[in-house]
A and B are shown apart, each in its own frame.
Chain A
Amino acid sequence: MPEQFETAGGRQLGWGFWVAASICGAWIAVAALANVLPLPNPNYAQLNPASPGYCFQSLGHPYSAHLLGCDTDGRDILSRIIFGSRVSLEVGFASIAIGLAVGGALGIVAGYFRGLVDELLTVITNVFLSFPYLVLALVIVTFLGHSLFDVIVIIAVVAWPLLFRVVRAATIEYAQRDYVLAAQALGSKPSRILRTLLLPDVVPSAITYALLGVPLAIVAEGALSFLGQSVPVPTPTWGNMIAAGSTAISQDPILLIAPAVALFSFVLPINYIGDRLRSVLDRRQGMT
């Protein structure tokens, strides 16, 4: 009943939800259009005093050509923040999508069939969850590498056990409903029950928890970047900008504040969206 979920939920979500959604939408649009927007090259150091975009002295002096000024290497901060949002968003959504695909598929199988498969998978996820996520990510990053794809895979490896747990728990609950028992009694094949009955039921909670995972993934990438263990340096990321800003903190606080505000202004609304969706979901499940 996805339609019912949307209409009944739409009214319960409140205006804050739509404000948060617009902010996230704006960030996604800006990140997608970064190449088209009139921005200087994020990696171009404008250190030549003769050039029109000369920037080195403009540390902390925003002017028309550079709205937020430039960093210690003479690179435009605004441009770096906008291009940096790409890494955060790509890693945030892609890693959770992979984690959801893997964790969700295994979770629905474990939750429906139970037994040995379930016990085995549960032990495996417990092992994964015994590592603090950053420690696990740091260990994997040392042998996988630092490309964007590597980072996405690393965070997906860290994220899938949580999504597995959520989907497994939801499946166990729905598998005891009457219509599932009826389908079993009629002799439907398990693959059919999983696909046509359980999957649509599990999707809302899976999506909600996946959305709650996106900010966590973005923060995880930020932490790796901050420690210099994510995408290599010339590429701007919010994490490595915050790291650079915190070492140049006494020269100009904007180097730290600008990327910090950027990260906060994306993570807060998306956390809020996830939180609202979850409370609507909880209420809906409470009713049925």
Chain B
Amino acid sequence: MAHLARLRRALEALVTLLLVTLVTYFLTSKLPGNEGAVICGSAPVSCIRHEDMVLYLNHPFFARYLHWISNLLTGNLGNTASPPVPITTLLKQDYPVTLELIIYSQVMAVAVAIPLAMWGALRANGTFDKVTTGLTFASLSLPYFVLGPLLVLLFTISKPFNWFPGVASSLPSIWSSPGTNLDVMFLPSLTLAVGSVAVYQRLLRADMITTLEEDYIVMARAKGLSTSRILFRHALRPSTFTVMTVGGVQIATLITGAVIVEYVFGLNGLGSALIAAVSSKDLPTVQVITVIVAVAFIVLNFTIDQLYAVIDPRVRRARAV
């Protein structure tokens, strides 16, 4: 039974994946302006004819879609509109920034949220708990496009706190000069992290309060274990399941956030590439980036769903029955 359920789940994910590519292709092929004409710009008609042929533009919708998706699956992502650069080159250059931004921000968010949630849960409704919960709630009303510029104002411009390099500082690779890289990426990642801290703190705190009422925690206390040992070794893991599930959904929010944060801080990531492509109506690039982002989201959620069973033996056993 368990295997059947897992198979069903995988099939669902696969169908969703397929439909996502179909919807993306449908939406973007509805864009005004002929794709061939956009790619060729003011180039002669023969170029437009050629591009039309390459992109199957004179074929019916499904033929075009099949042509496009089979190209995508074989790794042939096509060229950007103008100037024609292979999209793979663009992606190779841009994805590390977005990936680093997301990972960096999540490391920050987890590092801050876990202690906040633990201390809050330990004395639920105490002063510390009320203040942190209130602050995280307020931070949920600070969208990325507000927080980002405000952090820029506070930490790169005004005198006493201008600790960080300003917007659009050149970003060296993390492998060649990690120090400068992490310095430049600090504020962008912080912008992205604040919202996640709020989400993680609230969920973890709520689950932690429930966990701390369990018998085995009382038992651990009775044995005289230290509070930190109880919190980190006994209570943390069983309190993380909601956070794990929501963490997967969070990724979608983070990608939205990355689009804005990259724009605010002038970073060359997938988000800026998408905005640039949308502004210049560069269809092939919009299609590829949208599909990649959606596929990454589905695959990640599916993986987390599977991991869930690995981390929580209770779920594993319940599913095995």
Residues of A within 8 A of B (CB): 123-124, 126-135, 138-143, 215, 219, 222-223, 226-229, 239, 242-243, 245-246, 249-250, 253, 256-257, 260, 263-264, 267-268, 271-272, 275
Q: How far, in angstroms, from A208 to B107 measured CA to CA in the complex?
A: 33
Complex contact B149–A249 (CB within 8 A): yes
Q: Return chain B residues, CB-CB under 8 Å to A133.
A: 252, 256
Complex contact A139–B24 (CB within 8 A): yes
- Name the residue on A nearest B156 (C-beta): A249
Complex contact A132–B253 (CB within 8 A): yes
Complex contact A242–B294 (CB within 8 A): no
**Interface set, chain B 119-173, CB cutoff 8 A to A:** 137-138, 140-146, 148-150, 152-153, 157-158
- Name the residue on A nearest B143 (C-beta): A219
Complex contact A264–B32 (CB within 8 A): no
Q: Return chain A residues, CB-CB under 8 Å to B145.
A: 222-223, 226, 239, 242-243
B37 within 8 A of A: no
* Minimum C-beta distance from A123 to chain B (A): 7
Complex contact A142–B281 (CB within 8 A): yes
B275 within 8 A of A: yes
Complex contact A222–B293 (CB within 8 A): no
Complex contact A141–B141 (CB within 8 A): no
B180 within 8 A of A: no
* Minimum C-beta distance from B275 to chain A (A): 6
Q: How far, in angstroms, from A123 to B298 measured CA to CA in the complex?
A: 13
* Minimum C-beta distance from A87 to chain B (A): 15
Complex contact A256–B153 (CB within 8 A): yes
Q: How far, in angstroms, from A242 to B142 measured CA to CA in the complex?
A: 13
Give the secondary structure class of A's interface. Answer: helix
A263 touching B19 in the complex, CB below 8 Å, given contacts A138-B275, A143-B32? no
5 A-B pairs in the complex with CB atoms less than 8 angstroms apart: A123-B19, A129-B252, A139-B27, A139-B290, A263-B146
B7 within 8 A of A: no
Of listed A135, A249, A264, residue having the most chain B CB within 10 A: A135
For the complex with contacts A127-B23, A130-B298, 9 further pairs of A-B residues with Cβ separation under 8 Å are: A126-B12, A135-B259, A139-B28, A142-B281, A143-B27, A143-B31, A226-B145, A264-B146, A271-B141
Pairs of residues from A and B, 10 with the lowest C-beta to C-beta distance, nearest first? A246-B149, A134-B256, A268-B141, A226-B145, A132-B255, A267-B141, A132-B252, A219-B143, A132-B256, A143-B31
Q: How far, in angstroms, from A229 to B260 measured CA to CA in the complex?
A: 12
- Name the residue on B nearest A126 (C-beta): B16
A268 touching B31 in the complex, CB below 8 Å, given contacts A123-B19, A126-B16, A223-B260? no
Q: How many residues of B contact A (CB 8 A)?
A: 48
Complex contact B143–A223 (CB within 8 A): yes
Q: Return chain B residues, CB-CB under 8 Å to A242.
A: 145-146, 149
Q: How far, in angstroms, from A73 to B188 measured CA to CA in the complex?
A: 29
Q: How far, in angstroms, from A245 to B255 measured CA to CA in the complex?
A: 24
Complex contact B157–A250 (CB within 8 A): yes
Complex contact A135–B149 (CB within 8 A): no
* Minimum C-beta distance from B153 to chain A (A): 5
**Interface set, chain B 276-321, CB cutoff 8 A to A:** 278-279, 281, 286, 289-290, 293-294, 297-298
B65 within 8 A of A: no
Q: How far, in angstroms, from A113 to B256 measured CA to CA in the complex?
A: 35
B5 within 8 A of A: no
B223 within 8 A of A: no
B274 within 8 A of A: yes
* Minimum C-beta distance from A274 to chain B (A): 11
- Name the residue on A nearest B23 (C-beta): A127
- Name the residue on A nearest B147 (C-beta): A260
Complex contact A275–B137 (CB within 8 A): yes
- Name the residue on A nearest B251 (C-beta): A132
Q: How far, in angstroms, from A129 to B143 measured CA to CA in the complex?
A: 20
Q: How far, in angstroms, from A105 to B289 measured CA to CA in the complex?
A: 33
- Name the residue on B nearest A250 (C-beta): B157
* Minimum C-beta distance from B81 to chain A (A): 13
